[in-house]
């Protein structure tokens, strides 16, 4: 179970997810990707424990938009996915 400190560390979600939010979320997931370090997986951008709060925010935004992990990976690889 998360402590109250961990729960409040997350970035706030937009009230509804726009196409622009999807672009920002994809960038957050891509830039804040995991990188293996001697002490475990760390964020490639800020060296925080992975997943960092921006990566978590990006994943939550994309999930709220209804995207699956496979669709997210397709978009990160430059492919296209029909957004609702």
CA distance 24 to 22: 5
Chain centroid to CA 48: how far?
A: 14
* Contact yes or no for 32/51 (Cβ under 8 A): yes
Contact, 48 vs 55, CB < 8 A? Answer: no
pLDDT in tens, 17-65: 999 999 999 999 999 999 999 999 999 999 999 999 999 999 999 999 9
Q: Strand ranges (DSSP E) for the chain?
A: 34-37, 40-43
Calpha distance 73→69 (Å, rounded): 6
pTM of the entire structure?
0.84
Where residue 7 falls among pLDDT bands split at 50, 70, 90? low
Q: How confident is the model at residue 82 (pLDDT cuts 50, 70, 90)?
A: confident
Answer with the residue of higher pLDDT: 1 or 17: 17
């Amino acid at each position: 179970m998360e402590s109250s400190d961990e729960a409040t560390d997350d970035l706030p979600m937009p009230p509804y997810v726009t196409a622009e939010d999807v672009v920002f979320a994809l960038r957050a997931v891509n830039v804040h990707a995991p990188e293996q370090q001697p002490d475990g997986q760390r964020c490639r951008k800020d060296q925080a424990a992975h997943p960092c709060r921006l990566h978590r925010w990006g994943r939550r935004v994309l999930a709220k938009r209804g995207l699956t992990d496979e669709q997210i990976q397709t978009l990160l690889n430059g492919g296209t996915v029909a957004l609702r």
